[in-house]
Structure 1
Amino acid sequence: MTSKNSTRRLSIFNRDADDTVHSITTTEALIKWEEERGESARQAKVIMLNGHYPPIHIMDHSLGKLIRCEKLSLSTNMIERIANLNGLKHLKILSLGRNLITSLAPLEVVSDTLEELWISYNSIQKFDGILTMKKLRVLYMSNNHIKEWSELRRLSAISTLEDLVFNGNPLHDEWKKDEESWIDTVHKLIKSLRKLDGLFL
């Protein structure tokens, strides 16, 4: 059965006559990127593969060659699993919004360098994988599936976190009628925050 998130992702891509959406791996996407730009992805500091067509489905071993990459955007694709980021030793900004991702656990491999994670509009329920981040300042994860205060409280372990976008999660939806109390409560839980849901604290 196709999930609501899957349906939403499929709807933004053109389908062929038999209603099939063709997807590719990062290997194919990077080959196309290099051909279009006439440069090596290995030397690039910024790689933008967001909204790719055909959509990217798999983050494969090809990402390992992005040894100088500081910003990688894979948003608005059909990625289900984060993988193969081990070789990105200089990665600072990672954009994975609007995919089909359910787990952040594979992000532990970039915990020493990652400063910004954009992962809104996915299906994240737990913060496993980012709680040991040493430099994470920005976390955009609106419209995911965080339901419990106990889970949100875990973000206090990230002492560098300053900017959090969290609206659209089930936990936030319960507080829509009392936004002021929501902001106050979250700030008490995560004292390092300077900005919440676009508002300065």
Structure 2
Amino acid sequence: MLLNQALKPLTCKEAITRWEKEKGEVASEATVIEMQFQWPPIEKMDGALSTLVNCEKLSLSSNIIDKIAGIAGMRNLKILSLGRNNIKTLSGIETVAETLEELWISYNGIDKLKVMTAMKNLKVFYIANNNIREWAEVNRLQDCPNLRDLVLFGNPVMDTQADAETWRNQVQNRLKQVSKIDGVPIVRVEDFEG
């Protein structure tokens, strides 16, 4: 009986309470909250996260979260780290579109980028090792005018190219605003003209 209780996933409220005890801080006043690698893991993002009104960076990586939720009240959120979870869709991220500058969501199961068109302030987008299969999805990032740093390797769409250089050139030609692809700075001819 005790073993089953120990393996029950954490709620966000329980994880926040644990974080407060460990840090000796009030979560609603903190600007950085890291609750990655929880054991037992966090299973669902929920409304308890909206109490984190001053949070600028939230890390929930390496849990078992299956969807993005509960962040609508996080009006100061700039960095959201959700890598290594079970997330299949980006639906829910648009609730922080006004403030979010960095989204780290590698190693999930995402295959569509439709909601990214709302992310006008996004500068950094790490979505390596997901299920992006079509160039049409990559093209949606054209609607993110401030996007500069994109990590996209490990997605099936990359397999359509012969090698890494051809891959980066394809991405660079589609996303003119990006200055770094998969960790490699992009140098364009127009950078030397003038």
How many residue pairs are counted as aligned between the two chains?
A: 184
Which of 35, 46, 52 does residue 38 from structure 2 map onto? 52
Instruction: Give the TM-score of the pair, scaled to structure 2.
Output: 0.91
Paired residues for 1:25-44 under 5 Å: 25-44=11-30
Structure 2 unmatched runs, 5+: 187-194
Structure 1 unmatched runs, 5+: 1-15
- Whether 1:109 and 2:95 are equivalent positions in the alignment is yes
Which of 145, 158, 172 does residue 187 from structure 1 map onto? 172
Which of 79, 94, 97 does residue 80 from structure 2 map onto? 94
1:54-94 deviations in Å (ceiling 9; x for gaps): 10001111111100000000000000011011110000000
Which has the larger displacement, 44-53 or 177-186? 177-186
Instruction: Give the TM-score of the pair, scaled to structure 1.
Output: 0.88
In structure 2, how many angstroms separate the alpha carbons of the residues matched to 1:72 and 1:160?
21
Amino acid aligned to 1:77:
N
- Whether 1:198 and 2:165 are equivalent positions in the alignment is no
Contact 2:114 2:137 in 1 (8 A): no
- Whether 1:166 and 2:152 are equivalent positions in the alignment is yes
In structure 1, how many angstroms separate the alpha carbons of the residues matched to 2:8 and 2:114?
31
Amino acid aligned to 1:164:
L
Percent identity, aligned pairs only, is 46
Deviation at 1:119, TM superposition (A): 0.1
In structure 2, how many angstroms separate the alpha carbons of the residues matched to 1:109 and 1:70?
14
Show the counterpart of 1:67: 53
- Whether 1:130 and 2:77 are equivalent positions in the alignment is no
Deviation at 1:173, TM superposition (A): 2.6
Deviation at 1:21, TM superposition (A): 4.4
Ranges of 4+ aligned residues in structure 1 off by more than 2 Å: none
Amino acid aligned to 1:33:
W
Which has the larger displacement, 91-100 or 166-175? 166-175
